[in-house]
Chain A
Amino acid sequence: MNEEETLIRRFVESEDESAFEQLIRGRLESLRRIIAAAGPKDSSDRDDVLQEVLIRIHRALRGYRFESSFSTWVFRITRNASLDLERKRRRARQREFRVIRESRDTGANPENLAMESLRTTELKQLFYELDEKDRQLLILKEREALSTAEIAKILGILPGTVKSRLSRARRRARTKYEEFEEAEL
Protein backbone atom coordinates (compact mmCIF):
# COMPACT_ATOMS: atom_id res chain seq x y z
CA MET A 1 0.00 0.00 0.00
CA ASN A 2 1.54 3.32 -0.99
CA GLU A 3 1.47 6.44 1.13
CA GLU A 4 -1.41 7.95 -0.81
CA GLU A 5 -3.57 4.89 -0.30
CA THR A 6 -2.70 4.82 3.39
CA LEU A 7 -3.78 8.43 3.75
CA ILE A 8 -7.06 7.79 1.92
CA ARG A 9 -7.81 4.77 4.11
CA ARG A 10 -6.94 6.73 7.24
CA PHE A 11 -9.38 9.43 6.21
CA VAL A 12 -12.18 7.09 5.12
CA GLU A 13 -11.91 4.47 7.83
CA SER A 14 -10.68 6.50 10.81
CA GLU A 15 -12.09 9.91 9.78
CA ASP A 16 -8.59 11.31 10.15
CA GLU A 17 -8.91 14.88 8.89
CA SER A 18 -5.15 15.42 8.94
CA ALA A 19 -4.84 12.66 6.33
CA PHE A 20 -7.20 14.59 4.06
CA GLU A 21 -5.20 17.75 4.58
CA GLN A 22 -1.97 15.93 3.74
CA LEU A 23 -3.51 14.44 0.60
CA ILE A 24 -4.66 17.82 -0.61
CA ARG A 25 -1.86 20.17 0.44
CA GLY A 26 0.61 18.85 -2.11
CA ARG A 27 -1.90 19.26 -4.91
CA LEU A 28 -3.28 22.70 -4.16
CA GLU A 29 -1.40 24.46 -6.94
CA SER A 30 -2.38 21.87 -9.53
CA LEU A 31 -6.00 22.05 -8.44
CA ARG A 32 -5.92 25.80 -8.69
CA ARG A 33 -4.52 25.64 -12.23
CA ILE A 34 -7.33 23.32 -13.28
CA ILE A 35 -9.81 25.70 -11.67
CA ALA A 36 -8.21 28.58 -13.58
CA ALA A 37 -8.61 26.70 -16.85
CA ALA A 38 -12.24 25.98 -16.01
CA GLY A 39 -13.16 29.65 -15.93
CA PRO A 40 -12.49 31.93 -12.97
CA LYS A 41 -10.05 34.59 -14.13
CA ASP A 42 -9.71 36.46 -10.89
CA SER A 43 -7.42 35.03 -8.21
CA SER A 44 -9.87 35.58 -5.36
CA ASP A 45 -12.58 33.84 -7.38
CA ARG A 46 -10.19 30.94 -7.93
CA ASP A 47 -9.57 30.66 -4.20
CA ASP A 48 -13.32 30.69 -3.51
CA VAL A 49 -13.86 27.96 -6.06
CA LEU A 50 -10.96 25.99 -4.61
CA GLN A 51 -12.58 26.05 -1.19
CA GLU A 52 -15.86 24.78 -2.67
CA VAL A 53 -14.06 22.16 -4.72
CA LEU A 54 -12.29 20.86 -1.62
CA ILE A 55 -15.62 20.49 0.16
CA ARG A 56 -16.81 18.36 -2.75
CA ILE A 57 -13.64 16.30 -2.74
CA HIS A 58 -14.00 15.78 1.01
CA ARG A 59 -17.54 14.49 0.51
CA ALA A 60 -16.68 12.37 -2.50
CA LEU A 61 -13.53 10.79 -1.13
CA ARG A 62 -15.49 8.14 0.77
CA GLY A 63 -16.70 6.90 -2.59
CA TYR A 64 -13.22 6.66 -4.12
CA ARG A 65 -12.75 3.11 -5.44
CA PHE A 66 -9.01 3.12 -6.29
CA GLU A 67 -9.89 2.37 -9.91
CA SER A 68 -7.86 5.26 -11.28
CA SER A 69 -4.93 7.11 -9.74
CA PHE A 70 -5.89 9.51 -7.00
CA SER A 71 -4.51 12.46 -8.96
CA THR A 72 -6.61 11.64 -12.01
CA TRP A 73 -9.69 11.20 -9.84
CA VAL A 74 -9.16 14.40 -7.90
CA PHE A 75 -8.38 16.42 -11.05
CA ARG A 76 -11.51 15.14 -12.69
CA ILE A 77 -13.66 16.11 -9.71
CA THR A 78 -11.94 19.48 -9.59
CA ARG A 79 -12.62 20.18 -13.24
CA ASN A 80 -16.27 19.08 -13.08
CA ALA A 81 -16.93 20.93 -9.83
CA SER A 82 -15.19 24.07 -11.12
CA LEU A 83 -17.26 24.08 -14.29
CA ASP A 84 -20.41 23.59 -12.26
CA LEU A 85 -19.51 26.33 -9.78
CA GLU A 86 -18.40 28.67 -12.54
CA ARG A 87 -21.75 28.26 -14.30
CA LYS A 88 -23.56 29.05 -11.06
CA ARG A 89 -21.34 32.03 -10.33
CA ARG A 90 -21.78 33.36 -13.85
CA ARG A 91 -25.55 33.10 -13.60
CA ALA A 92 -25.53 34.82 -10.21
CA ARG A 93 -23.26 37.58 -11.50
CA GLN A 94 -25.40 38.08 -14.59
CA ARG A 95 -28.40 38.58 -12.36
CA GLU A 96 -26.64 40.94 -9.99
CA PHE A 97 -24.42 42.96 -12.28
CA ARG A 98 -26.15 43.02 -15.64
CA VAL A 99 -25.35 46.68 -16.01
CA ILE A 100 -21.59 46.41 -15.57
CA ARG A 101 -21.21 43.31 -17.68
CA GLU A 102 -18.81 44.90 -20.12
CA SER A 103 -16.19 45.74 -17.55
CA ARG A 104 -16.39 42.25 -16.12
CA ASP A 105 -15.73 40.65 -19.50
CA THR A 106 -12.09 41.55 -19.15
CA GLY A 107 -12.08 38.90 -16.47
CA ALA A 108 -10.68 40.62 -13.43
CA ASN A 109 -11.94 43.01 -10.84
CA PRO A 110 -10.89 46.67 -11.20
CA GLU A 111 -8.24 46.48 -8.49
CA ASN A 112 -6.52 43.51 -10.10
CA LEU A 113 -6.86 45.07 -13.52
CA ALA A 114 -4.98 48.11 -12.29
CA MET A 115 -2.26 45.93 -10.85
CA GLU A 116 -1.74 43.68 -13.83
CA SER A 117 0.31 44.93 -16.70
CA LEU A 118 -1.54 45.45 -19.93
CA ARG A 119 0.42 42.75 -21.69
CA THR A 120 -0.32 40.17 -19.01
CA THR A 121 -3.98 41.06 -19.06
CA GLU A 122 -4.13 40.73 -22.81
CA LEU A 123 -2.27 37.43 -22.83
CA LYS A 124 -4.61 36.17 -20.15
CA GLN A 125 -7.54 37.30 -22.24
CA LEU A 126 -6.14 35.36 -25.23
CA PHE A 127 -5.96 32.24 -23.10
CA TYR A 128 -9.58 32.65 -22.05
CA GLU A 129 -10.65 33.03 -25.67
CA LEU A 130 -9.81 29.36 -26.12
CA ASP A 131 -12.41 26.66 -25.41
CA GLU A 132 -12.50 25.39 -21.84
CA LYS A 133 -11.38 21.95 -23.03
CA ASP A 134 -8.47 23.47 -24.95
CA ARG A 135 -7.45 25.44 -21.87
CA GLN A 136 -7.59 22.29 -19.73
CA LEU A 137 -5.55 20.37 -22.30
CA LEU A 138 -2.82 22.99 -22.33
CA ILE A 139 -2.69 23.21 -18.55
CA LEU A 140 -2.83 19.46 -17.96
CA LYS A 141 -0.17 18.76 -20.56
CA GLU A 142 2.17 21.73 -20.15
CA ARG A 143 1.85 22.46 -16.47
CA GLU A 144 0.74 19.21 -14.88
CA ALA A 145 2.79 17.10 -17.33
CA LEU A 146 0.13 14.40 -17.38
CA SER A 147 0.09 11.53 -19.84
CA THR A 148 -2.37 11.37 -22.70
CA ALA A 149 -4.24 8.54 -20.95
CA GLU A 150 -4.57 10.54 -17.72
CA ILE A 151 -5.78 13.63 -19.57
CA ALA A 152 -8.29 11.49 -21.45
CA LYS A 153 -9.70 10.19 -18.15
CA ILE A 154 -9.94 13.63 -16.61
CA LEU A 155 -11.66 15.20 -19.60
CA GLY A 156 -13.75 12.14 -20.43
CA ILE A 157 -12.50 11.85 -24.01
CA LEU A 158 -10.55 9.25 -25.99
CA PRO A 159 -6.72 9.29 -25.87
CA GLY A 160 -6.63 9.77 -29.65
CA THR A 161 -8.87 12.79 -29.29
CA VAL A 162 -6.53 14.20 -26.65
CA LYS A 163 -3.63 14.14 -29.11
CA SER A 164 -5.49 15.70 -32.00
CA ARG A 165 -7.25 18.21 -29.81
CA LEU A 166 -4.05 19.16 -28.05
CA SER A 167 -2.26 19.94 -31.28
CA ARG A 168 -5.29 21.96 -32.42
CA ALA A 169 -5.34 23.81 -29.11
CA ARG A 170 -1.64 24.64 -29.46
CA ARG A 171 -2.19 25.85 -33.02
CA ARG A 172 -5.12 28.03 -32.01
CA ALA A 173 -3.24 29.47 -29.05
CA ARG A 174 -0.20 30.13 -31.22
CA THR A 175 -2.27 31.87 -33.91
CA LYS A 176 -3.83 34.09 -31.28
CA TYR A 177 -0.45 34.82 -29.78
CA GLU A 178 1.09 35.68 -33.15
CA GLU A 179 -1.83 37.96 -34.06
CA PHE A 180 -1.40 39.65 -30.72
CA GLU A 181 2.34 40.08 -31.24
CA GLU A 182 1.80 41.54 -34.73
CA ALA A 183 -0.73 44.01 -33.34
CA GLU A 184 1.78 44.99 -30.67
CA LEU A 185 4.43 45.94 -33.23
Chain B
Amino acid sequence: MNNYDEPWLKQMLDAALDYGEKPASPDFNAIRRAAQDAPPKSRGFTRSGKILAAAIITAGIAAAVPAAFFGYRAAERRHAVQEENRLFAEQIIGGTIFDEGLCPDTPWPFEDAGTKDFFDI
Protein backbone atom coordinates (compact mmCIF):
# COMPACT_ATOMS: atom_id res chain seq x y z
CA MET B 1 0.00 0.00 0.00
CA ASN B 2 2.98 2.25 0.39
CA ASN B 3 3.75 4.55 -2.47
CA TYR B 4 7.26 3.38 -3.24
CA ASP B 5 7.60 5.84 -6.15
CA GLU B 6 8.17 8.50 -3.54
CA PRO B 7 10.67 7.18 -1.00
CA TRP B 8 10.85 10.50 0.83
CA LEU B 9 7.12 10.23 1.56
CA LYS B 10 7.53 6.66 2.76
CA GLN B 11 10.28 7.80 5.10
CA MET B 12 8.18 10.61 6.46
CA LEU B 13 5.09 8.46 6.96
CA ASP B 14 7.15 5.66 8.49
CA ALA B 15 8.63 8.11 10.96
CA ALA B 16 5.23 9.64 11.73
CA LEU B 17 3.68 6.23 12.27
CA ASP B 18 6.63 4.93 14.26
CA TYR B 19 7.72 2.51 11.52
CA GLY B 20 4.47 0.59 11.42
CA GLU B 21 4.32 0.05 15.15
CA LYS B 22 1.53 -2.34 16.02
CA PRO B 23 -1.31 -1.02 18.15
CA ALA B 24 -1.71 -2.41 21.62
CA SER B 25 -4.54 -4.90 21.73
CA PRO B 26 -7.65 -3.08 22.85
CA ASP B 27 -9.50 -4.22 25.93
CA PHE B 28 -12.76 -5.33 24.32
CA ASN B 29 -14.38 -6.13 27.66
CA ALA B 30 -13.73 -2.61 28.85
CA ILE B 31 -15.09 -1.29 25.55
CA ARG B 32 -18.28 -3.30 25.95
CA ARG B 33 -18.70 -2.22 29.57
CA ALA B 34 -18.02 1.43 28.78
CA ALA B 35 -20.39 1.38 25.82
CA GLN B 36 -23.14 -0.27 27.86
CA ASP B 37 -22.65 2.00 30.86
CA ALA B 38 -22.71 5.03 28.62
CA PRO B 39 -25.87 7.07 28.37
CA PRO B 40 -28.13 6.31 25.40
CA LYS B 41 -27.08 7.96 22.18
CA SER B 42 -30.05 10.30 22.13
CA ARG B 43 -29.49 11.59 25.65
CA GLY B 44 -27.05 14.26 24.62
CA PHE B 45 -29.52 15.54 22.12
CA THR B 46 -32.40 15.42 24.61
CA ARG B 47 -30.30 17.17 27.17
CA SER B 48 -29.30 19.88 24.74
CA GLY B 49 -32.94 20.12 23.66
CA LYS B 50 -33.97 20.69 27.27
CA ILE B 51 -31.24 23.24 27.76
CA LEU B 52 -32.30 25.01 24.58
CA ALA B 53 -35.96 25.00 25.65
CA ALA B 54 -35.02 26.36 29.09
CA ALA B 55 -32.90 29.07 27.48
CA ILE B 56 -35.75 30.06 25.15
CA ILE B 57 -38.25 30.19 28.05
CA THR B 58 -35.84 32.22 30.18
CA ALA B 59 -35.17 34.61 27.32
CA GLY B 60 -38.92 34.86 26.71
CA ILE B 61 -39.58 35.68 30.36
CA ALA B 62 -36.67 38.11 30.41
CA ALA B 63 -38.14 39.92 27.43
CA ALA B 64 -41.81 39.66 28.43
CA VAL B 65 -41.57 40.93 32.03
CA PRO B 66 -40.04 44.36 31.26
CA ALA B 67 -42.19 44.64 28.13
CA ALA B 68 -45.33 44.02 30.20
CA PHE B 69 -44.20 46.41 32.94
CA PHE B 70 -43.28 49.26 30.60
CA GLY B 71 -46.31 48.53 28.41
CA TYR B 72 -48.59 48.79 31.43
CA ARG B 73 -46.95 52.03 32.54
CA ALA B 74 -47.17 53.47 29.03
CA ALA B 75 -50.86 52.54 28.84
CA GLU B 76 -51.52 54.14 32.23
CA ARG B 77 -49.72 57.30 31.19
CA ARG B 78 -51.65 57.36 27.92
CA HIS B 79 -54.93 56.99 29.80
CA ALA B 80 -53.93 59.73 32.22
CA VAL B 81 -53.00 62.05 29.37
CA GLN B 82 -56.22 61.20 27.58
CA GLU B 83 -58.19 61.91 30.73
CA GLU B 84 -56.34 65.18 31.20
CA ASN B 85 -57.02 66.15 27.60
CA ARG B 86 -60.63 65.21 27.96
CA LEU B 87 -61.02 67.31 31.09
CA PHE B 88 -59.10 70.16 29.49
CA ALA B 89 -61.19 69.96 26.33
CA GLU B 90 -64.36 69.80 28.40
CA GLN B 91 -63.25 72.76 30.37
CA ILE B 92 -62.21 74.78 27.32
CA ILE B 93 -64.90 73.72 24.94
CA GLY B 94 -67.67 73.24 27.44
CA GLY B 95 -66.85 76.35 29.39
CA THR B 96 -64.29 78.80 28.20
CA ILE B 97 -64.49 78.55 24.42
CA PHE B 98 -68.23 78.68 24.38
CA ASP B 99 -68.18 81.43 26.96
CA GLU B 100 -65.65 83.38 24.95
CA GLY B 101 -67.50 82.81 21.70
CA LEU B 102 -64.89 80.42 20.22
CA CYS B 103 -67.26 77.55 19.68
CA PRO B 104 -66.28 75.76 16.48
CA ASP B 105 -69.88 75.97 15.32
CA THR B 106 -69.77 79.74 15.47
CA PRO B 107 -70.61 81.01 12.01
CA TRP B 108 -67.81 82.66 10.05
CA PRO B 109 -66.45 85.30 9.98
CA PHE B 110 -65.65 85.53 13.68
CA GLU B 111 -65.90 89.29 13.76
CA ASP B 112 -69.52 88.96 12.77
CA ALA B 113 -70.19 86.97 15.92
CA GLY B 114 -68.06 89.32 18.00
CA THR B 115 -65.49 86.58 18.72
CA LYS B 116 -62.13 87.15 20.25
CA ASP B 117 -58.82 86.25 18.55
CA PHE B 118 -57.78 82.71 19.57
CA PHE B 119 -54.60 83.92 21.23
CA ASP B 120 -56.48 86.32 23.39
CA ILE B 121 -58.22 83.55 25.28
Contacts and interface: CB of A to CB of B under 8 A. Distances in A.
Nearest to A135: B16
Contacts of A31: 23
A59 B26 contact: no
B31 A55 contact: yes
Given A21-B28, A29-B23, A174-B8, A124 B1 contact: no
B24 A47 contact: yes
Contacts of A46: 23
Given A33-B17, A60-B41, A124-B16, A17 B28 contact: yes
Contact of A143 (B2, B11, B30, B41): B2
A117 to B, nearest CB: 9
A28 B17 contact: no
B31 to A, nearest CB: 5
Contacts of B35: 55, 58-59
Interface in A15-54: 17, 20-21, 24, 28-29, 31-33, 36-37, 43, 46-47, 50-51, 54
23 contacts: A20-B32, A24-B26, A24-B28, A36-B16, A54-B31, A55-B38, A58-B32, A60-B41, A62-B41, A63-B41, A119-B15, A121-B15, A123-B16, A124-B15, A126-B12, A127-B12, A127-B13, A128-B16, A142-B3, A143-B1, A143-B2, A170-B6, A177-B12
Interface of B: 1-3, 6, 8-24, 26-28, 30-32, 34-35, 38, 41
Interface of A: 17, 20-21, 24, 28-29, 31-33, 36-37, 43, 46-47, 50-51, 54-55, 58-60, 62-63, 119-121, 123-124, 126-128, 135, 138-139, 141-145, 170, 173-174, 177-178, 181
